[in-house]
Structure 1
Amino acid sequence: MKTPPQSPPPPPPLLILLFLLLFTTTTTPSLSQPLPPTPAPTSPPSSKPSSPSTLDPKQVTALQSLNIPTSKDPCAQPSLHNATLCDSSKPFRHLISLRLSNCSSYVALSFTALKSLSTIQSLQLLNCPVAPIRFPPELIASLRSFTSVNSLSKVSGVWLSQLENLTDLTVSNAEVKATGPYVILSNMKKLRTLTISNANLTGSLPGHVHSNLTHIDFSGNHLKGSIPPSITMLDSLQSLILSSNALTGEIPASIGDLISLKNLSLASNSFSGSIPDSISAVPGLVHLDLSSNQLNGTIPSFISHMKSLKYLNLANNNLRGVMPFNASFISKLSVLNVGGNGNLCYNHSVVSLKLKLGISRCDKYGMPVSPPSKDSYADDSGDYDDGDDEDGSKQKKEHHHGPNKFVLGVAIALSSIVFLIVFLIVCSKCRR
């Protein structure tokens, strides 16, 4: 009988385990080790600048010619105390706003530099005594705001008139040569804010102004004539400052049509007539200065009902009568000045606080008791006397300087008693 062939003995388990471990390490990466990173594809070299947000090199050169440091990117904010602003164009950014302040005497705005900066929309010169400037056409077309404060020594009205795309114009403390404001404003149909102050500007106020204006300041000039009706038709006007000129005539009744007005200053002119009642129709008026004119009549009582009013100056006019303000109205004002009106007085039973009004008290007829003196600047808090104040003042003087009636009566009574006692003693001695 044949015995069946026997199978070979199984390999030891240790050998099987070593074989499997060797196989896995050579065919698959280890789970504990990260895969090697895939290399990024290399891009071909580009001709563009490494930083697309830098300023246009031509404008950098122009700024350097104006002695503006460019070691730091002028477009980075804050830059030069926000003196420069840039757009976001590519590959190079461009200036849209430039402010030059406290310039040195050798700074010159050359035509070449300004032509390179023709993307500027806002140009401000503050304390920069530079020579007269000739703007390139590209800059004239781009400018929307131009400010010159204590900078340009002389400015031609014709030169200003070419900036016809402006929405904001400010020229202050510089001599403006023009026959009147109309020469400057005739082409500026987009203008919203206008300031030409302390500029020796002559002529009269323009008979036609554009309706976009919200701010007009012609203070400190030599303008003559009256306020034209065109100005009182500006529904959007919020500030009208015509102080320190040579304007005449009456304040037009149509001034009340300026329903958006918040600041009205007509001080230091030669306006006459009365304060128009139509001012009461201006609901948001905060600042009202009519001082140093020739206004007459009484102060309208409606002024005390103007809820927004904070500043009121009616000093140095020819106003008369009783001031119609009570302590409640006065207390809400930041400034009240009614001095310099010789025929104006106040009722001290209504205004009982100690205020420096600069006017005298009223008698029972509504007339000033006496010309205002140093003592009249301080109001007393006594009750109003229906009698004549002159008589009252005399009684007060007698009250303070004459003998007291009670003391005088007691003295007379004691003297009588003493005399009677002495008389009785004498009589008794005579009888003996």
Structure 2
Amino acid sequence: MRPPSPPLLILFLLVFPTIIYSATESPASSPSPHSPSPSSPSPSSSPSSPSPSSSPSSPSSSSSSLDPKQLRALQSLNIPISKDPCSRNATLCDSSKPFRHIVSLRLSNCSSYVALSYTALKSLSTLQSLQLLNCPVTPIRFPPELIASLRSFSCVRSLRKVSGVWLSRLENLTDLTVSDVQVKASGPYVILGHMNKLKSLTISRANLTGNLPKYIDSNLTHVDFSVNQLKGSIPTSITMLDGLEHLNLSSNELHGEIPPAIGNLISLKSLSLASNSLSGPIPGSVSAIPGLTHMDLSSNQLNGTIPKFISHMKNLKYLNLANNNLRGVMPFNSTFIKGLTVLKLSGNSNLCYNHSVLSSKLKLGIAPCDKYGMPMSPPPSKESSADDSSDYDDSDEDDNSNKKEHHHGPNKVVLGVAIALSSIVFLIIFLILCSKCCR
């Protein structure tokens, strides 16, 4: 058989490694099955629609129509209504006969024509829940019949200023939400003085002044006074709410120490005291709260060491102690840190971690300790550490770095093997040609 010509041989030797290299590179171009997908935006929080105590029914469950008086009342308020107002999502009705009655009403994004009327509200005295969302209407005095019936009142970016006295008249409420509304009152007690049935209380971003009340009704499970101008210390009455699940006093002007009896809040799940002027140590009693999942004590003047018992809180997922005056060795081990979703410690210049126990890859926002328990080097600035967030994110970073090494390493090895095989083939063909030429 005639041996292949040299040009064909050279062409084969040039193409063969290229084919092998392309085959090794093609899998790398395909997306990794573990590549993260864009996270979907979290839904914006909005006030929940409370469930009336009397179970409303859908239009199909009752053939009776709405009470004519209430229908006229809705019309007088200039509220757009359909043929059957009870079929609207913003209106819930009971199933009474011969006429149904409205038990829950939500007015949202009101036009300039909507205006409250004492007569209309008197006709709507069966209301148990009233929500005003983006309705900058002028507040009026509620009829006694409506005050007696109302159990839930929400006012978000609505009403052109309200007074504490006006709110205090709603004394049968179990749920009160006032947010992004200017409230004129000398303190929360003016509002809460006669509300002994409240379970959920939110007065946020309301420019509320004064001190926290020294007496708070024990039925409360939710308290939110965030983003106001409240002063003074945290009263011990707060620590007596053994049914309290959520406490948010952040972004006020509170000072003094966190009450040592804070651990008595055994039902607490979320605690936020951030952005105040609180001082003193972190009470060790917080570790006695079994179900606490969220604790934010950042941006205060807390000092002393971090209680080591916090690392025994198995349900804790969010811990923010940044921007305080904490010192000493951070007592958390890697097992506790990996169980957290967020850990922020930056902005504590005298706080450090044991580098023989914890890896520097954890990005804790604080410096490692020397043999005297002091920071070995200046910690990151608050600005740069704020960008890092000092969140525990080491696992994802390690996974990504491992993927990158795994992604590029095998391609180089396979390429080397391909070149070696090409050289061997070239050598064999060369020897064959030489042996035939020598004959």
Which residue of structure 1 aligns with residue 247 of structure 2?
240
**Match of residue 140, structure 2, among 129, 133, 146:** 133
Which residue of structure 2 aligns with residue 110 of structure 1?
117
Unaligned runs of 5+ in 1: 1-50, 382-432
Contact map agreement 1:52 1:92 (CA 8 A) in 2 = no
Deviation at 1:278, TM superposition (A): 0.7
The 2-side partners of 1:99 and 1:353 are apart by: 53
The 2-side partners of 1:347 and 1:367 are apart by: 10
Deviation at 1:247, TM superposition (A): 0.7
The 1-side partners of 2:362 and 2:66 are apart by: 60
Which residue of structure 2 aligns with residue 150 of structure 1?
157
Under a length normalisation based on structure 2, what TM-score does the superposition of the two structures give?
Answer: 0.71
**1:71-105 residue CA offsets vs partner (Å, 9 max, x unmatched):** 331223xx2xx211111111100000001111122
Which residue of structure 2 aligns with residue 254 of structure 1?
261
Which residue of structure 2 aligns with residue 370 of structure 1?
377
Which residue of structure 1 aligns with residue 281 of structure 2?
274
2:335 matches 1:328: yes
Contact map agreement 1:327 1:353 (CA 8 A) in 2 = no
Contact map agreement 2:78 2:115 (CA 8 A) in 1 = no
**Match of residue 71, structure 1, among 64, 82, 85:** 82
2:237 matches 1:230: yes
Which residue of structure 2 aligns with residue 54 of structure 1?
65
Secondary structure in 1 matching 2:96: coil
Under a length normalisation based on structure 1, what TM-score does the superposition of the two structures give?
Answer: 0.73
The 2-side partners of 1:198 and 1:71 are apart by: 35
Q: Could you tell me which amino acid in structure 1 is paired with residue 108 of structure 2?
A: S
Contact map agreement 2:300 2:323 (CA 8 A) in 1 = yes
Which residue of structure 1 aligns with residue 30 of structure 2?
none
Secondary structure in 2 matching 1:264: strand
The 1-side partners of 2:152 and 2:64 are apart by: 25
**Match of residue 291, structure 1, among 290, 294, 298:** 298
The 2-side partners of 1:142 and 1:172 are apart by: 22
The 2-side partners of 1:253 and 1:325 are apart by: 22
Contact map agreement 1:244 1:269 (CA 8 A) in 2 = yes
Which residue of structure 2 aligns with residue 415 of structure 1?
none
Secondary structure in 2 matching 1:354: helix
**1:109-161 residue CA offsets vs partner (Å, 9 max, x unmatched):** 12222111111010001111111222111111110000001112211101111
The 1-side partners of 2:341 and 2:161 are apart by: 38
Q: Could you tell me which amino acid in structure 1 is paired with residue 83 of structure 2?
A: K
The 1-side partners of 2:234 and 2:186 are apart by: 17
- Quick one: percent identity of the two aligned structures? 77
Unaligned runs of 5+ in 2: 1-61, 395-439
Secondary structure in 1 matching 2:244: coil
Contact map agreement 2:272 2:296 (CA 8 A) in 1 = yes
Identify, as 1 or 2, the structure richer in helix. 2
The 2-side partners of 1:260 and 1:118 are apart by: 35
Deviation at 1:340, TM superposition (A): 0.5
Secondary structure in 2 matching 1:85: strand
Deviation at 1:212, TM superposition (A): 0.6
Which residue of structure 2 aligns with residue 308 of structure 1?
315
The 1-side partners of 2:177 and 2:105 are apart by: 15
The 2-side partners of 1:163 and 1:324 are apart by: 48
Contact map agreement 1:224 1:245 (CA 8 A) in 2 = yes
Which residue of structure 2 aligns with residue 173 of structure 1?
180
Deviation at 1:353, TM superposition (A): 6.0
Which residue of structure 2 aligns with residue 16 of structure 1?
none
Q: Could you tell me which amino acid in structure 2 is paired with residue 308 of structure 1?
A: N
Contact map agreement 2:322 2:345 (CA 8 A) in 1 = yes
**1:161-200 residue CA offsets vs partner (Å, 9 max, x unmatched):** 1111000001111111111111111111111111111111
